[in-house]
Amino acid sequence: MTEETKKQNNGSSVYRIAKRTKQIFHFVGDVKRTFSGIMTDEILEGEMLKLFLEDGRMLIINKKNLLMTEVFSDEAVKNIKNEYAY
């Protein structure tokens, strides 16, 4: 990854999957939340995780309560839906 790419996406490894992703967040207490259209080139990490969605929303997630995140490219999700469509 070049320095220019790191500046654009803050070094996020999620950027390697796709520019737009669907992510399933698993929180303490068996709570799950799913968001689509997360722009991986604008993820900011600190005590709080800040994610920007393509529809203009911003998610701020307290990482202390986050156990795991599943990440899929938006294209992969569309292909899976088409594959199992009846």
pTM: 0.72
Q: How many domains, in total, are found in the chain?
A: 1
- Residue 24 or 11, more confident: 24
Residue scoring higher pLDDT (2 or 63) = 63
Residue 41 in contact with residue 4, Cβ under 8 Å? no
CA dist 28 to 25, 33, 44, 67, 68, Å?
A: 10, 12, 21, 6, 9
pLDDT in tens, 30-63: 999 999 999 988 888 889 999 999 999 999 999 9
CA distances from 31 to 43, 56, 65, 69 (A): 22, 24, 10, 12
Q: Which residue has the tokens 């070094």?
A: 11
Return d(Cα 51, Cα 20) in angstroms, integer.
11
**What per-residue confidence (pLDDT) applies to 80?**
63
* CATH number of the structural domain spanning residue 10: 2.30.30
Q: Judge whether residue 19 has pLDDT over 70.
A: yes
Range of the domain at 64: 3-83
Give the pLDDT of residue 2: 42
